[in-house]
Structure 1
């Protein structure tokens, strides 16, 4: 026997062993019981958290917490500081992440409970006495092995929130319509093949999730759920939805990705902001369908079979994000370039012939600018010629043909890109100001600093593209361009941004990719209108999830190819986030298999790792 094998294991000091045993008894660890300390604290607070304790059954003293006299206080002593008889009723019971296979019928003894959370267990059934919890408002039985719901659940008339996701439920009783107080109903990730029409009684539900089931249609009763703001029916087998759903005037978001729809649903809801129809079988868009989407800001049509994009798409003046990735489009109407609110246009994966591939890869601002430049403007009236006074002294002949004062007034865009230039003549800024220029493109030059004269356009400037230069800093004075919506700083040598940029409160699209940032600049967290934040290919090593949570409109966050060691699970709480790119970092979780499933799966995984 080697010396290493012969070495005796260190022995715990008996005093420490006794102390550890006392602590285990108090906290209810070791034997799966519930220690007296937890029970006594619950009597004072009305809340008992037994999550993640390896429990296979709930100890009887939990159900009798407000009935039995504690052993330590059989003899009443009015001088004691711990007056157990002054207890409050148990109102919140958390039993998540254990090994429970059933709940006792004695759950009826804690009738004051308003919140019951038993998610992430092994429950195959629920007790018939559940309806005796007359105050129950929130019930979470997700991530279990339920195949059906007992009738007692349908009799919990005061339920406001019911979470049934990640079970094996195959059908719902018609009595679900009796839960008329419900506001939040999640039945996703089950085996439902239909939804009862009696859901028409759920007139207070604002969020309905039936994603990841086997539905072939949405019940007509859903069209009577007048309070609905969000419908998530992604990952089903739906071939059509009732036209009546289009009259839900509070409806803001519809998720119908990964279904079998062959055409856009007819939607008349004036509040509709987001329509997600990716990965269906849609072949064409009609003007009638598009005319119903005038208030939509996000339209996701990726991974379909659309062959033609009608010019009526320009009627969607509120549209901010249009995703047409992986369709069968041959052309993009040049008039799309006039859609002033469009901040993200995705057309990769199409056989588009009227736009060069290198232009498609430059990003939305340059793509829209290209489309605008191809629109044929009406000829000047006969006899009206551009005088020699219009000639710009700072332009050569080739440039003069493209960039006259007339064109500045027509396009409202000052394009001085790809020269390469080390400065921008003052005459150019003067002409731009006189023409009311809204966009400036100085990309692909050799600028080492932002021209200070850009502030001459501060009253009108909406878009600035400074990508692919040699900038090492951004001048604080750029903050006076308070109307900026798009700022492109990609492919420079930046490692910081001035705090003054936090005054760009209207900025929606910020690209700082391919720079030298080691963390997100603090000014970004004050840009409360930010929707698209692209920060890939930097040296970013950590994220502040709490401050990112302040960006209440953030929809796209691109952080791929950085130095992130971990992804804070609180990122999963960013409700508006629709695209999260984190590939090419050094973290271990989420695993590549999860990331391959897309943003929704990653966000769901992150939420599952938040401590209860």
Structure 2
């Protein structure tokens, strides 16, 4: 067995492809990173998964300057070194299946990061400001943790395609959810008694194709669900839904859209100014039938038309860039002050 591990170690260290060095040391029962004469800066992919690592030396990650993929899933890690922030080229980080209670704030310096997997840990929170910097993130998997909230800054991750936060303790989704205009898959199932409502802004997630809200304590869905025209897969079992009733949900996505759409039209006619702001947003983003709005006796007041005038003709992919959340973020203000001082 030891000889097999040594052989695999040598092979893993020596594998070269197209000028990239891929080091595979997975499944070797390692408790520490082995000594090596390799130039660590030449490694682009490092697999240390399925070992017994309890820590990663700060000095190790600080020297992996060209690393693109780091996989340390299924170890015994209690922390990630602060020097993770030195990995400016890192695109994929998998730290799932460890004992992490937090992530270092320096992770926001990994601005090239496209995929982050922290499933099956003990996280109670994510870094508050990570979303301001991780603008290239496309996949965020945080399921099977103890998260009560996602950070407010998560609404700035406008390139996000997949957000998996099931099996947590989520009380709500972050404000500014509508900024995630490229989100295709949202899984917030199995937050059980903690998650009781879905924000109305979910209707602006125009790219959403899969939505899983099963096994929560949700009783009423927002009418804006009817605006998710690309939604193909919808799961809501395990809730106590009364609107729409589960008998409608059982008929599929189209039945849910029709039911909630009828409620939306009725609400638009009767609720007056209180709901017009959201209707204005839905119309301008193409999520709601503009002709229907015009037919309803001019109920969309001029002030609401002016409110969204700046988005007229703006491609939906650019809307997030003009979000007040982004324009007035603490990070942006800080960078502006630093620029002025120079």
Residue of structure 1 aligned with 2:115, choices 222, 230, 234: 230
Shift of 1:362: 1.5
State the 1:369 CA deviation. Answer: 1.7
Query: Is residue 340 of structure 1 aligned with residue 229 of structure 2?
Result: yes
The runs of 5 or more residues in structure 2 that have no matched partner are 271-290, 294-342
* Pairing 1:100-499 to 2, within 5 Å after superposition: 100-102=4-6, 113-115=14-16, 137-152=21-36, 155-175=39-59, 176-246=61-131, 247-266=133-152, 267=154, 268-286=156-174, 288-304=175-191, 305-377=194-266
Distance in 2 (CA, whole Å) between partners of 1:324 and 1:153 is: 50
Tell me the distance in 1 between the aligned counterparts of 2:8 and 2:178: 56
SS at match of 2:46: strand
Post-superposition offset of 1:379: 6.0
Deviations 1:335-394 (A, max 9, x none): 2112222222221110111222222112212221222123344669xxxxxxxxxxxxxx
| Structure 1 contact 265–289 (Cα < 8 Å) conserved | no
Q: Deviations over 1:311-356 (max 9, x none)?
A: 1222322322221110001111222112222222221110111222
Could you tell me how far 1:141 is from its partner in structure 2? Answer: 1.1
Q: In the alignment, what sits opposite 1:605?
A: none
Alignment of 1:573-584 (within 5 A): none
Counterpart CA distance in 2 for 1:326 and 1:279 is: 10
Larger radius of gyration: 1
CA distance in 2, matches of 1:351, 1:293: 27
3-state SS, counterpart of residue 309 of structure 1: coil
Partner Cα separation in structure 2 for residue 271 and residue 379 of structure 1: 35
Bigger share in helix: 2
Q: Return the alpha-carbon distance in structure 1 between the equivalents of residues 111 and 101 of structure 2.
A: 22
Compared CA separation, residues 316 and 198, structure 1 to 2 (3 A): same
CA distance in 2, matches of 1:379, 1:240: 42
Once residues 269 and 217 of structure 2 are traced to their aligned partners in structure 1, the CA distance between those partners, rounded to angstroms, is 34
State the Cα RMSD in Å: 2.8
1:419-467 CA-partner distances (Å, limit 9, x unpaired): xxxxxxxxxxxxxxxxxxxxxxxxxxxxxxxxxxxxxxxxxxxxxxxxx
CA contact (8 A) 1:279 1:303 kept: yes
What's the offset of the Cα at 1:156? 2.4
TM-score normalised per structure 2: 0.70
Is 1:136–1:156's contact at 8 Å kept on the other side of the alignment?
no
Shift of 1:227: 1.1
Name the CA distance, whole Å, in 2 between partners of 1:313 and 1:154. Answer: 49
Distance change (3 Å), C-alpha of 1:333 and 1:154: farther
Separation (CA, whole Å) in 2 of partners of 1:101 and 1:277:
36
Q: 1:250 to 1:289 in 2, by over 3 A?
A: same
- Asked if 2 retains the 8 angstrom alpha-carbon contact of 1:204 and 1:228, the reply is yes
- The equivalent of 2:310 in structure 1 is none
Give me the TM-score of the superposition, normalised by structure 1.
0.40
| Cα distance change on mapping 1:294 and 1:324 into 2, 3 Å | same
In the alignment, is the contact (CA less than 8 A) between 1:183 and 1:207 conserved in 2?
yes
Report the counterpart of residue 561 of structure 1 in structure 2: none
CA contact (8 A) 1:138 1:160 kept: yes
Aligned residue pairs: how many? 264
